[in-house]
Structure 1
């Protein structure tokens, strides 16, 4: 085997293995200097937590005294669906009286639960048209544009008879 053929085969092998390298995507809260685990219960307040971690990813729907910081890491290989590798949700609750941290809980991917949703559909009135009926539905019903002698034709004033 000649030298150029060997180099081409080596380059093709490197490209083939490089195509299978997973692409990692980071989304959500990214800690820069401080970590959510560094928040101290009973000492930190809402303002100090905001200064350390920044604004939360979400707040509780029914209680504004619970903040959530969410992080997710996904890997994608070639044409396959992305796979969640790591997910962390940190819930920080504050006391209502003095707005100091009352608790810090960390939930990981193992704590998550799969929720099945109801895939039933609400029925609608009438019947569904096929694609062919939608495309050919106006054939034979007349032109798409109004005639010139009709009121409301483009370029005519209402009540103008020429």
Structure 2
């Protein structure tokens, strides 16, 4: 009996270590994390851009390519950075948000520089309704079985038959 108990001790130690390791991994999976999304700001580089002196080429060589260029014109470049807190099961929560907007004039010289932060951020709630479309609303089973009986046993496309084809064949 003593031999059986002494033989089980190494297995019980491995079992306990496995349980402790599994618990440690599962607890660490529930921890919060932070991630930076978008442009990674360097305050010294962003402050080095000067209105009236820098142009598109110097801004791009200093800050890199913009996150977003203006939608309707190329006169404004946006450098967007958001630091979010990621918690398991919940939506990511913005903790820090910064947008550097660099505006250019017609000749490509920096005209104005604007900084926006989390207080300027606005939450947009899309409308939850549905847009009505023309046509019929068919259900799941109608989509699956709707073509039953539609085909009258005619010959398949390309099969030789006389007179019914689109070009009289």
Report the TM-score, using the length of structure 1 for normalisation: 0.72
Larger mean Cα displacement after TM superposition, 3-12 or 45-54: 3-12
Secondary structure at 1:55 match in 2: coil
Higher mean C-alpha deviation, range 114-123 or range 53-62: 114-123
SS in 2 for 1:35: helix
What residue in structure 2 maps to residue 112 of structure 1? 121
Conserved in 2, the CA contact under 8 Å of 1:44 and 1:100? Answer: yes
| Segments ≥4 residues shifted beyond 6 Å | none
Higher Cα Rg, which structure: 2
The equivalent residue for 1:153 is: 158
* Structure 1 contact 66–92 (Cα < 8 Å) conserved: yes
Tell me how far apart the structure 2 counterparts of residues 32 and 16 of structure 1 sit (CA, whole Å). 36
- 2:109 corresponds to 1:100: yes
Q: Say whether the 8 Å CA contact 1:34–1:52 is kept in structure 2.
A: no
The 1:158/1:94 distance shift into structure 2, 3 A limit, reads farther
Question: In 2, distance between residues paired with 1:47 and 1:14?
Answer: 51
Return the alpha-carbon distance in structure 2 between the equivalents of residues 121 and 14 of structure 1: 46
Q: RMSD value over aligned CA atoms? A: 3.3
SS at match of 1:153: coil
Q: Name the CA distance, whole Å, in 2 between partners of 1:53 and 1:78.
A: 33
Structure 1 counterpart of 2:142, from 133, 136, 140? 133
| Residue 82 of structure 2: aligned partner | 72
Q: Is the 8 A contact 2:52 2:111 kept in 1?
A: yes
1:66-96: per-residue Cα shift (whole Å, max 9, x none)? 2111122334333433333332211012244
Q: How many residues end up aligned between the 2 structures? A: 154
List runs of 5+ in structure 2 lacking aligned partners.
1-8, 164-169
Give the SS at the match of 1:10: helix
Give me the TM-score of the superposition, normalised by structure 2: 0.70
Corresponding position of 2:18:
8
| Structure with higher helix content | 2
